Amino acid sequence: MGLGAFHRAHQAWYTAADPAWGIAAYTFRSTELPELLTRQGGLFSLLVREDSGDRVEPVGSITRAHAGADTRQWLADVASPEVALITLTVTEAAYTVPEPGADSAVSRLVAGLRARFHANGAPITLVPCDNLAGNGDVLRSVLRKVCAEPGFAAWVEDEVAIAGTVVDRITPATTARDVRRVAEISGVRDLAPVVTEPFTEWQIAGTFPRGRPAWERAGARFVDDIEVYQQRKLWLLNGAHSLLAYTGLARGHATVAEAAGDPVLGELVESWWDTAAPYLSPAGIAGYRHRLRERFAAPGIRHLLSQIAADGSQKIPVRILPVLHRERARGRLPHSAVAGLAAWLAYLRGHEVRDARAAELIPLARAEKPAHRVLPAMDPTLADDGELLTAINTELPRHPARST
């Protein structure tokens, strides 16, 4: 589920290391992309941007590409005993219980699982690959609430394994110039290439009763405890990305590299890392921070702040607030978190807000004392923290709203 740039640069790239396996990919946002990939026989190119120059890697693990409207094929594929697992790259906002009759990622997933239950009942593994703390546990919780029929619910509980994962690879939006660059290097006219960085990471904890690709051939790691990796990535990489997105947009920057190169924002990120690091396992933190600095500064990766800024209401609760809560329990008021949340409020006051809760949050952000209105709407436990909310309101004028 999900055929975007990240899936193709990550799960599809890892799966290509084991040619015995292939992917039937479904996208619920685009009809053009499946058509392009079908014309190309599922093949696409990774344009990997390294300090030494660009290189192109062909990826051929996608055997079929479908639009989400192809419901009949989706149900047939999930029901097939040949299908052993389903990866999900559907964004953090999708991991919620859908409204009755709603057409969502979860409702489509449940429909597929129900078809499998009635067809053959073979076990299957779900592999959520979104930036969500405890993504496997969250998905299990959602399925327990949605899969209510007694026989089906018991089958989902017993026969549907769910892995927990940590995924990482930056995939900025592909431009027409990138398409031309792929053709220059490879001589191939690829209309669906993906731009990415050389760095990639995948930690997985779970079981695969029907087997799985040998993802470890490409560097995936199978671990017993996923939480330490989830927290490190969410708080250090994703948390810093969100801080850079909102404060960077307020200062007129367009990309992560531009924002990270701003001395004021670079200092803010270092302060955030200093704040979050004590709550993480110290092993490897210094090296991880060093790699992040290098990745943020990479000039060839045009990672748009506007892309990162979208859906802050889903991202901030897992990237910023867990650390902030720990700091507040100790009586501390970290400036980096205050500045980041104030800049997010400024973003909500802008003209091109992209957020799943925009209709609810924008009026609150534009009202008097916006922190007192927006933050409790996201996290009710913050409603009584007057010191924090006042500090965010006081900081807000330093981050003027700008169009993205």
HEC string for 156-200: HHHHEEECEEEEECCCCCCCHHHHHHHHHHHCCCCCCCEEECCCC
By the 8 A CB rule, do 313 and 96 touch? no
Spatial CA neighbour of 393 closest among 382, 403, 381: 382
Provide CATH code, domain 5-222: 3.40.50.720
Predicted local confidence at residue 403, as pLDDT: 62
How far does Cα 253 stand from its chain's mean position?
22
Residue 92 binned pLDDT confidence (cut-offs 50, 70, 90)? confident
Quote the pLDDT of residue 99: 87
Question: How high is the mean pLDDT of the chain?
Answer: 95
Q: Is the pLDDT of residue 97 over 80?
A: yes
d(CA 400, CA 286) in angstroms, rounded, equals: 33
Residue 137 burial by Cβ neighbours in a 10 Å radius (0-12, 13-18, 19+):
middle
Q: What fold is seen in the domain 227-398?
A: N-(1-d-carboxylethyl)-l-norvaline Dehydrogenase; domain 2 (1.10.1040)
> Which tokens hold the place of 282?
């110290």
Q: Determine the average pLDDT of the residues in 17-21.
A: 98
Q: Residue 124: enclosing H or E segment and its boundaries? A: strand 124-128
Q: Where in the chain is the domain with CATH 3.40.50.720?
A: 5-222
Decide: pTM greater than 0.85.
yes
In the chain, residues under CATH classification 1.10.1040.10 are 227-398
Cα angle: 256, vertex 261, 266; to 5 degrees: 90
β-strand 164-168 against 201-205: which pairing, if any? Answer: antiparallel
Tell me the residue ranges of DSSP E strands in 219-297: 221-222
Both structure tokens of 97: 């219980």
What's the pLDDT band for 351 if we cut at 50, 70, 90? confident
Q: What is the pLDDT of residues 203-220, one digit of tens each?
A: 999 999 999 999 999 999
Identify whether the C-beta of residue 260 lies closer than 8 Å to the C-beta of residue 296.
yes
Residue 20 CA to its chain's centroid (Å)? 28
Report the alpha-carbon distance of residue 395 to residue 375 in Å, rounded. Answer: 14
Residue 84: the pLDDT is 98
The pLDDT confidence band at residue 237, using thresholds 50, 70 and 90, is very high
Placement of tokens 């941007």 in the chain? 49
DSSP 222: E
Q: What is the mean pLDDT of residues 282-288?
A: 90
**Is the distance from CB of 372 to CB of 391 less than 8 angstroms?**
no
With left for phi above 0 and alpha for psi between -120 and 50, is residue 187 left, alpha or beta?
left
| Structure-token match 């867990």, residue found | 322
Contact 374, 348 (CB under 8 A): yes
Nearest-angstrom CA–CA distance, 295 and 240: 12
Confidence of residue 404 (pLDDT cuts 50, 70, 90): low
